[in-house]
Structures are given as C-alpha cells and as structure tokens.
Structure 1
C-alpha cells in the first residue's frame, strides 16, 4: 500500500474495485448515465471518482462539482437543524407538536372504513417531536406514495390526504400543516413506523420554533458553518450549467428523461420548502455534512451539534428496540428492514447478522434518485454516492458499495 492507504487502513487495490464494478455493471451497459463516489476514512479522502455523463441528451460529462437532486437525503439535514433547536432548550423530544402547531390538537386516529364511513378514535397521546423525527407519528406519504412507487392509492388514510389536497406544491408550510391537521393518523403515535411526510413537518417546526424561514435557518445553522456552498432549495442561474439530468427507469429497462436540467422546477425558488426532499447539492457539500456527523457533530473547528446529541439521534428509537421488520407499515422507504432500526433522522444497523452485511455501526439514508450516504464512527468511515436514477429501489447501490468498501479495510 502507498502512504495514504496505510494511513486510512484501506487497501487501495481492493478499493479500486469500485471503479471496475460501476463502469462494467452500470456505466458501460447504460443502466445509469453517470455517478460519483467518495470514501473518507480517518478524515482522509481515500477514494473519489466521477463516472460517465450528468446529461446524456447533451453529452455533458459528470464533473466533480455536478449538482444533483438529493431528495430524501434532505431529511438528515433538516433533522440535524431541528435538533440544534433542541440543544437550545426550545423543546423536549416528547413535547407534543401541537405546542407549536395548535391546529394539530384535533387529530384523530383511523380505525376502519373510508370517506364518510370512516371510523376514528382519539389518539392515546399527541404526536410528539420524537415521533416526527422518527416517522412513528401516524403520518403517511398520501398520494405522493403512488407517484414515487407507481402503486395505486389503496389505504383510506392515503385517500384522505388526496381529498384535502396535501401536495407539497404551491402551498406554504403553514398551509401544509393545516391540511395535515385535517387527516386522520394511520396508527396510534409511537406504535408503528411508516415512511412519511414527517420530515416536512420537521421543516415546518424549524420555522415555528426558530421564528425564521427554513431555508434561512438551514443556511445559518448548517450550510455556512460547514462550507456547504452549493446546497439549497433551488439551483441559481449562475450554477445551472452544473445541474444534472434526472432519469426514470422504465419497465422495458430503458431510461426516460424525468427532469431536464434546463427546464427543471429546481431552477426557481419554490414556495414550499420541502424538509423531506427539496434540496439539491454537490458531493463536496454532502461529504462535509457526512464527515461532520462521523466526527460527532464538528468539522474544521465548527460545531453543529454536541456529540451526545448526535449519539442520541443515532440510537434506535423504535418501540421496544425492535427493528423495522416488526414496526414498518408498507415497503416504501429508503432502507431494507431486517436488522435495521430508526433514530431521529437516520436508519442504522442494529443487528449485523440480520442485515447480512459487513457493517455493524453505520447510520444512513438515501434519496429517490438513488443517492446514498452513510457514516460509521466505529470504522471512521464517511461515504457518499450520487447519481440521478429513479426509482431508488432499482439497484442495490448501498449494499454493493458497502461490501466493496468494508472488504477493503485491513485494520
């Protein structure tokens, strides 16, 4: 090994199998136009590579500063932002959301039926901050689930979301919160786990607790301290030339352009700032965020969170310490379920044998366009993978990269 590899404890030849794997299995056969990978260990950049094209239609290469839609990788950022307010003593985890959103006092819980015949009951307790941070509050993704998964809207609660117009579109966060107050909870708070609009609620709570707009709070509390210069809810005109195209894999395995970077809605500042999926950014930015997490909340002398806060966030908050196989409703999310717990903004490995993987202490999340990241304090690893392919369940990039990377560790 060379000096750098000795310092990182990673076998450089083994790590370079990432290059062959991605080029041979994905880039050459055209399964994805392009992608980008970065691996850090012990604060050292051990592997960084960009592959293929960021815009197939225009033949533009994927450069290291390419801007991508990170979709649900927005969630960990917004969860961290909300927890900075927790550290300021603004709320406790088990405080009810209705402390800052009084309209939520009228929530009911679905029991049976639908529409005019729906039967509901009172919640055993109010939805709490802990619930929305961990997707255990009884919220769902409503009709958005159908758009992202291609599955029909079947559950009465999801249909209720559609009926009141929960869209994450041309509405303010206050209007969004008011609409959610009108729909029943899918289950009693804390009793199950369902991937949902909960982190959009976290974004609204950032605004209500802090008293400043979500984008401003993210910029001041996270982006500027970490030097995340390209992460925002829209791509400004002077950076649009770096914006990647987004593709959808069709049933015949072909790729269809899903969002043209020259015509994208991301080119305009949106009315609705989605804390659950609205950000775009670069590899350099998200790698700094991931490394801050891995280091216990600090990077380059700038502390975002205290280490004990981050330790709390990355514990399993599911009832009874169960994994997602026992708690999850539905199969739509950005993680497998076996051996996986969920904390305050992150999924994490709680049973390595059950996952069948090489990592035992990582926490992570992904996005709808197949982006992924994870931090592993035990192995001192920070990893980010970016591409633009929907849906995210098409290929197991996370599992494949974990095997390639962890098998390269030699100490």
Structure 2
C-alpha cells in the first residue's frame, strides 16, 4: 500500500475550484480516506447559486444511482440469511413478470416480441436482465419515457411502478446483453416482498442505523431542508436527456431546489436512484465496503459482490446504453463496476476498484489495493457533462508515492 504526497493531494483543491470558477459545477466536495482514516477533505463553491449559500461538508445532495450499491448490499443481507438466492426469477416476487416476453432482434415496435424466461435477481443486479432506462435508445426505452417509468420521485409507490413496468416487454432476452437499467429498482421491491417491510424501513433498520447514516433518506427530513443543495444542468431542456444537443446559455440552470422539490413529499422509494444524503454518511457506507462488512455483511460476501460477474468486460456484451462508467476493461459486480484492466479503461486505477456514480455527477470508488475510499459530491445533471471522474482518479493516483 502506497502513502500520499500531501502537496500533490492539494492539487485537488485547485482542480475543484477550477470547475466552480468556470461555472461548470455550482459547488463540490471531495473526501479521501485510506485504511479508514481521512487523508483529504475539501469543499468549495455554492449549494445554491441564487441564494449565495456555500457548499459545505454537511450539504445534503441527491445521490441518484449511488443508491444502487446500497440496495445491492440490502439484497445480499437477505441472501446471507438464506431467504433468497440470486438465480431466483423476479416473477417469484413480482408476478407481473411471470409470462415474460422480449423484443425480437431489431424490433421496431413493442408488438414484435417472443416468449422468454423472466429475469433473475442476478440479472437485475448486473444490468443483464432486459429491462432498461428511458434515456437509452430503443422502443422499450421510448415507452418508458412516455409512461414515466424511471422510478423517479412522485406519488406512485415502488409496488405500483414495478407492476407498471412489468406490462412492457423486455428490451432483449435476459443474459444476452448489458444495458443500464431500472433493474435495481425492482430489487428494492423484491426486498419489500421478502422482508415484509417498506423498503426504506428495511434500509434504515439494516444499514443506515447500524452505520450511523442518520441523514440519508428517500424523503428530505424537515431538519435538513436548510442544507439541501439545488440541482443544475448545462442543458436547455430536460437535464436527464442524455442525447440532448441544445445547451443552455446559462451553464448552471437550476432544475430543482428546496421549494417545491419532489423529495419533500414522495411515495417512491427508488432503490436505483432515490436517496439524498451527505458525503460523511456515504463515507460510512464506502468504509463498510472497504473494511469487509462491519457486521452488515460477511467479508466473503462483499468480496463476491465486488468481483466481475460478467463473462468479460461490459464492452464485450454489446451495450448501446448510457453508463456511469467506461465500458472497455470494466466489468460489473453486484451493484457496481469493477476495474479489470486500468490500461483498457484508460484511467489510472487499481485492478479490483469497485465504483459507481450518480446522474448529478456524484461518484465514489473503493480501491482494495491501496485500501482507499474516495467520494466526490456535486449537483449537476447529466453526469456525462464533464470528465471529472477520470480526472479525479488521475489526481488521486498522481498523489500516491
């Protein structure tokens, strides 16, 4: 394990300030820990531009898809207890998937389908299930977009949205491709069915309370409203439209703030993207991953989760979808990406790095070789706007001696 050159770590401060000064990010924070000890923290910029409110360590942010690893850990808790196995079909828990159908190859219409097996829980966790996201290309994604089926905050419950999604065909035969998806949202519903608890209650009982993640929830607690960051986009239209070409004249156009935010009153408990929380709360979760479970999971289960579960890298499975990570040289485990070959990823890193990000440009990774956990928080969607993730990894590895 290497140590850090603190003067090189300090380069991160200037890099962060550069993003803020260029009005690319409103504000941001970085937390680096090695061996469970904090070695670097810095924040700069604003959590609310119009109000001139500073981005601080206790700022509450939307973590979006960084919810997925938390949900994945929650299911593995049930797997460890012998209550479910990963090859179980999702139809055992969500009956709407019992008579599953998938699109025929090159289908141009939702009616062009054939029978197929229901996706397994493992396929949902690894994005090989045939479910999709509305921002991906294809006829299923178009139907999801028209039906607002991305499990976003709103007045439908997890059970209602899962049943609604089950009415659509799968985009492809399960197990044949990799496509970023709402599969882990369906896992949240599976957890409710098995545990008999609302999904958020299960997370609080089994993960949040034991780890002290008191400020991570699906609904913004009343006492945290004053620390909730606004969300921005450089796009002229929908900040989740990954194919949009039209940029806004304002690089930080606000799309959500405290007033009127759907996170004040949502019935959706989205295991794929619904949590809000602080950087220190998420650091408690990443340190659990790094340290081998801390009683939440066995270290052997965590090791199993953080290895590649695909036949090769993501690129080898023909994805046409958006992803929060590069695909060449990158595998996928249970709820997160795994570096197989840093050279092919083209970003400095260690073999076995486990990571994922969120649509508002948040990002984390756990490095088992250097015993590191690194978290980046900001609030700008979409996350594909700037190359901050690869730049931060280069900065961190450039500071290792």
TM range (shorter): over 0.9
Paired residues, number: 385
- After TM superposition, the score normalised by the length of structure 1 is 0.90
Residues 1:133 and 2:130 aligned together: no
1:26-58 residue CA offsets vs partner (Å, 9 max, x unmatched): 122222121011000111100011111111110
Shift in Å at residue 160 of structure 1? 3.6
Secondary structure at the counterpart of residue 81 of structure 1 = helix
How far apart in 2 are the matches of 1:136 and 1:83?
Answer: 18
Residues 1:104 and 2:86 aligned together: no
Distance verdict in 2 for CA 1:328–1:76, change over 3 Å: farther
Q: How does 1:386-397 map to 2 (within 5 A)?
A: 386-397=377-388
Map of 2:243 onto structure 1:
none
How far apart in 2 are the matches of 1:383 and 1:163?
Answer: 37
Q: 1:56 aligns with which of 39, 49, 57?
A: 49
- Counterpart contact for 2:359–2:381, Cα < 8 Å: yes
Shift in Å at residue 165 of structure 1? 5.7
Shift in Å at residue 356 of structure 1? 2.1
Map of 1:149 onto structure 2:
none
- Counterpart contact for 2:48–2:230, Cα < 8 Å: yes
1:73-123 residue CA offsets vs partner (Å, 9 max, x unmatched): 11111111111011110111111111222221111010054447x221121
Residues 1:344 and 2:329 aligned together: no
Q: How does 1:9-408 map to 2 (within 5 A)?
A: 9-23=3-17, 25-111=18-104, 112-115=106-109, 118-123=111-116, 125-142=117-134, 145=135, 155-162=138-145, 166=149, 168=151, 169-250=154-235, 251=247, 252=249, 254-268=251-265, 270-298=266-294, 303-318=295-310, 320=311, 322-360=312-350, 361-408=352-399
Shift in Å at residue 71 of structure 1? 0.6
Secondary structure at the counterpart of residue 106 of structure 1 = coil
- Counterpart contact for 2:61–2:379, Cα < 8 Å: yes
Shift in Å at residue 171 of structure 1? 1.6
Unaligned runs of 5+ in 1: 1-6, 147-153
Shift in Å at residue 139 of structure 1? 0.3
- Counterpart contact for 1:323–1:341, Cα < 8 Å: yes
1:287-317 residue CA offsets vs partner (Å, 9 max, x unmatched): 110011011111xxxx111111111111111
How far apart in 1 are the matches of 2:281 and 2:139?
Answer: 40
Distance verdict in 2 for CA 1:272–1:328, change over 3 Å: farther
How far apart in 2 are the matches of 1:132 and 1:14?
Answer: 40
How far apart in 2 are the matches of 1:227 and 1:19?
Answer: 28
1:203-240 residue CA offsets vs partner (Å, 9 max, x unmatched): 11110111100000000010000000100001122210
Shift in Å at residue 328 of structure 1? 4.3
Shift in Å at residue 359 of structure 1? 1.0
How far apart in 2 are the matches of 1:336 and 1:372?
Answer: 13
How far apart in 2 are the matches of 1:220 and 1:71?
Answer: 21
Unaligned runs of 5+ in 2: 236-246
How far apart in 2 are the matches of 1:130 and 1:331?
Answer: 19
How far apart in 2 are the matches of 1:262 and 1:174?
Answer: 27
Secondary structure at the counterpart of residue 206 of structure 1 = helix
Secondary structure at the counterpart of residue 98 of structure 2 = helix
Shift in Å at residue 170 of structure 1? 2.2
How far apart in 2 are the matches of 1:180 and 1:192?
Answer: 19
- Counterpart contact for 1:192–1:327, Cα < 8 Å: yes
Distance verdict in 2 for CA 1:56–1:330, change over 3 Å: same
Secondary structure at the counterpart of residue 254 of structure 1 = coil
- After TM superposition, the score normalised by the length of structure 2 is 0.92
Shift in Å at residue 156 of structure 1? 2.0
Distance verdict in 2 for CA 1:162–1:27, change over 3 Å: closer
How far apart in 2 are the matches of 1:258 and 1:333?
Answer: 22
